[in-house]
């Protein structure tokens, strides 16, 4: 979708939207705790799902890493890999699975350079926790249930920490 691509290619607007949304979600933590993950997700999903589908082609993995991937959803990669690009990216930057599409991870790393989080390109993202699939990531974030908040931060976060 041309609108989405244009927006993601100049991600600053999305960055500001995220920066405004995150503190708001933290404020909602207590009501979300009272409702519990499932019920809170049921309330939040009718807003989150269509909005993020429109803006990011969100696949509702329930553990959003957009702010580490240049506001590009890694779940739109046909392999759904959380750390990329894989070894199969073509010389022209196309995907080996679907040569009609640009490599999602090349796009992510390019767009990341236009955000305040450039150093996150070397970040090691944990594998997807499929138990959270179809949950509202706004709720999992606020509740500290997403993969970023559940303790994986104690693991190496950057490739340099593994290789040093
Ligand atoms: S919640 Fe998951 S699927 Fe949706 S935009 Fe974020 S990373 Fe992509």
Token digits for 164? Answer: 């040093």
Q: By the 8 A CB rule, do 158 and 120 touch?
A: no
- Determine which of 91-95, 107-111, 122-126 has the lowest per-residue pLDDT on average: 122-126
pLDDT band, very low/low/confident/very high, at 159 (cuts 50, 70, 90): low
φ, ψ of residue 75 in degrees (nearest 5): -75, -5
Burial grade of 66 (CB within 10 A; 0-12, 13-18, 19 or more): buried
Would you list the DSSP string of the chain? -HHHHHHHHSTHHHHHHHHHHHHHHHHTHHHHHHH-HHHHHHHHHHHHHHHHHHHH-----SS--GGGTTT--GGGSTT--SS---TT--TTSB-SS-TTSB-HHHHHHHHHTTSS-GGGGGB-PPPP-GGGTTS-HHHHHHTT-STTTTTGGGS--BHHHHH-
- Determine which of 14-28, 104-118, 143-157 has the lowest per-residue pLDDT on average: 143-157
Centre of ligand 1 from the C-alpha of residue 27, in Å: 21
Q: What is the pLDDT of residue 146?
A: 84
φ, ψ of residue 162 in degrees (nearest 5): -80, -40
Q: What is the pLDDT of residues 9-38, one digit of tens each?
A: 999 999 999 999 999 999 999 999 999 999
Q: What is the pLDDT of residue 119?
A: 87
Q: What is the pLDDT of residue 125?
A: 87
- pTM value is 0.88
Domain boundaries, the chain: 2-163
For the segment 114-136, the average pLDDT, to the nearest whole number, is: 90
Closest ligand 1 atom number to CA of residue 59? 3
Nearest CA to ligand 1 atom 8: 73
Q: What is the pLDDT of residues 50-74, one digit of tens each?
A: 999 999 999 999 999 998 999 999 9
Q: By the 8 A CB rule, do 134 and 18 touch?
A: no
With the most atoms of ligand 1 within 8 angstroms of its CB, the residue from 48, 54, 74 to mutate is: 74
Nearest CA to ligand 1 atom 4: 58
Burial grade of 110 (CB within 10 A; 0-12, 13-18, 19 or more): middle
């Amino acid at each position: 979708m041309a609108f989405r691509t244009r927006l993601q290619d100049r991600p600053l607007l999305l960055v500001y939207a995220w920066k405004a949304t995150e503190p708001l979600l933290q404020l909602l933590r207590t009501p979300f705790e009272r409702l519990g993950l499932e019920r809170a997700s049921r309330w939040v999903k009718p807003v989150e799902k269509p909005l993020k589908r429109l803006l990011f082609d969100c696949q509702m993995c329930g553990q959003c890493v957009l702010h580490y991937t240049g506001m590009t959803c890694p779940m739109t990669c046909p392999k759904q890999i959380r750390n990329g690009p894989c070894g199969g990216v073509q010389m022209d930057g196309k995907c080996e699975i679907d040569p009609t599409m640009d490599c999602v991870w090349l796009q992510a790393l390019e767009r990341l350079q236009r955000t305040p989080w450039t150093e996150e390109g070397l970040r090691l993202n944990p594998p997807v926790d499929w138990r959270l699939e179809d949950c509202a990531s706004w709720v999992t974030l606020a509740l500290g249930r997403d993969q970023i908040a559940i303790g994986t931060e104690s693991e190496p976060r950057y490739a340099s920490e593994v290789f040093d």
